[in-house]
Amino acid sequence: MVTPDQVSVGVLVTAVPRDAVDEAVAACGVGERRRGGKLPPHVTAYLTLAMCLFSD
């Protein structure tokens, strides 16, 4: 059994394909608006998923 502290964001990337994230971002109309050091929308989506799943 895998415990939450053994899971990385890489597991989310494997479980949720980048194409699915890009489609969701496009469907919501919240694509990349800024440049210069800001995180791209797909990275923000993966980090948000991780924070929701592993809130501890």
Could you read off the pLDDT of 30-55 as tens digits, one per residue? Answer: 777 766 668 888 888 888 888 888 77
Q: How many whole angstroms separate alpha carbon 56 and alpha carbon 54?
A: 5
For residue 39, the 8-state DSSP code is P
pLDDT at 16: 92
Can you give the pTM of this predicted structure?
Answer: 0.72
Q: How many whole angstroms separate alpha carbon 27 and alpha carbon 11?
A: 24
pLDDT grade, residue 7 (50/70/90)? low
For residue 5, the 8-state DSSP code is G
pLDDT at 5: 58
Nearest to 50 by CA among 16, 17, 9: 9
